[in-house]
Structure 1
Amino acid sequence: MRPLRNGPWIDTRQEDAMRKAIAPIVALIIAGAGLTTFFALRTSPEPVTSTYFLMDTVFTVKTTGGDAATINEHLHALASDVDSMTSYYKAESQTVRVNAAAGKGSVSVSPEYAALLKTAVAVEAIDHGRTFDIAISPLSSLWGFTTKDFRVPSAKEISDTLAYSHSDQLVLSGTTVQLRDSRSRIDLGGVAKGYSLDVMEEYLKTVKPQPQQVIVDFGGNLLLYSGGKKHDWKVGIRDPRGQGIIGYVRSDDAFVATSGDYERYFERDGKRYCHIIDPSTGYPGTLNRSATIITDIQPMHGAIGDALGKVFFCSPAGSQRSLFQTVQGQGVVGVVIVDAAGTRSTLGPITFVSTTAQ
């Protein structure tokens, strides 16, 4: 890809390993799941870029101004703390403790964990759990997405597993959590990276001196931060079936999240099965190729945007506009959807600029 006429660019794509994590500063490519963020490079001070591997994905921070190296390290520490709290796999995580107690009784969790659960359940309620459900984990395991031992289960297996794979199995009271069925499991992977960005943004507001700008790319979930000074971020949308981007939208400081079928999937008999399970069917979603959600900088809007990516990804075109009207009050600035046929549509007061217009 060539730079846009008005400046250099960042292409954010998720990579499975660290080998493509750092690209040249003149055209910095940040690994991610379908987004490209363009920005004008500053001549002074020099930006500091740090790259890590966390939550099974590449985590990149680019900070300009302030004590950039210290800021980057602290952001990584904050994300690591969220991973330790929410991980589906780490034995010490609160998610593992809740799942281990399934069918046995309630578990005490931290106020932060309880607040994240409440946020996730509130997003589920928007569409009555038909498009996003943190208790869908047994279905993900059935398809092999938690073990990478991929398979196409039978219709009976799916139907039987669906019976205990919804959040009606979850009982949340204050800071105690219970799963009714011993086979039920929750997985906060659909909100954890977005929530990490919420925690990072809260920290960035307290930093003295303030950095000029910070770009965090956490496996395709972005935090674009300038303390309200920058209003011309360019957020590009990756082509779900090709190289490069299909276009971009402009944004103020924001959280950006994309859910798509092109990073984590397997194929059988020429059919693609992606990792985003539709809770209403128990099968991987097929209605859309990608859904990008832009939310404003407010508490928990990173987590909400992360979850809403799955909501819109699993939603038919006929319900997307009413869904958008419902979530505008939760900080959603705009939505860009690429459907199963490759047709692009937008929701909200955003202007999409196609790359064919460049």
Structure 2
Amino acid sequence: MTFGEFLEALSGADISVLAGFDASAPAFAALDPAVKRKWTQAHRVYYGATKFTRKQADARELAAGMPLDQICLIERKLAAVGDAAERWRLRLELLRFRGSYKALSQRIDDTVTTPKPTPKKQCRFSSSRAGMRSVSLTYAERDIADLEHLLRSLIDPSLPAAEQMADALVRLLRGEEGGVPHAVPRPIVLVPLPEWTRIQSGAGEEVQLVLTDGTTMSGAEFLAREFGAELEVAAFHPAEGAVNLYRTQRFANDKQRTLASMMSPTCPLPGCRHGADHCETHHVTAWRHGGETNLNNLVPLCRYHNGTNDDDPWMVRRGRICIRDGTPVWVSPNGYEVPNDTPGAMQLLFGA
């Protein structure tokens, strides 16, 4: 099969493509790695060595004409079946099915019984949407049952329960003794000061401030909070970005992390919800490549994206962070620059 014939056959590929499949062959180089893995698994089942040779031959005969994506679906879901003989029995049964991909998937779910993995304890938080966030908690059933029982005892049963229980839970979390404290953002004034002047003049409701935990607050809310006595002032150059941070005490590492978070209040990868306060400090030019710990080389990245960033610019896999005109941007593996959705200091001050 030529490369052109191969690409033409992909749209209607069936088991005949697997007969000569070799993941290392140049003709298959254009395949997505995930597709290669699926086809390699299917090739091993239908054409590889096995002691179930008669069943393998029957399977190839039954699979004739079935779309290859459906064959791969069967193999992916049968991987959870431990006994080899049982896998072959189920495989032959499922290969007799003719229908859509969705119908086959449902048929497999109805036919193949696999144990569900035990849920793990976890607590997850969503990104903000219209001023609201969600929290999901998976924990021991007895503890969750106790919590639900308590919350239901604190609401009016004649009214819808969900919103009432949410309010009751927050009241418990905000209890006077041992309750969850309010996250206290550090008050930062950016120079130049037009927005600060508007807040001071009484127009605070119209001013929106971005915080380094990924949330926002109005200028009026800013004034209403008790931030303590220390006031910080940061200066920004319209092209170079952060210049310096002046404080009553000098802590270079804190200064750099704070300014980096002001340049990017959240992890700048598209769709990432992590605020800069919960990020690691990333060197745009990696330390091992001579990158310095200077403001023009530091960007807050969440732990996951800090680990997947292409630190070696000549090794293109997952994309990398760059700084353009003082602002962090993500550059995709194809070279497209995607700015952060959450505006940082440069956008707020200069409309960059």
TM-score (norm 2): 0.22
Q: Which one has a bigger Cα radius of gyration?
A: 2
Structure in which a larger fraction of residues adopt helix: 2
Structure in which a larger fraction of residues adopt strand: 1
Higher RCO (C-alpha 8 Å, min separation 6): 1
TM-score (norm 1): 0.21
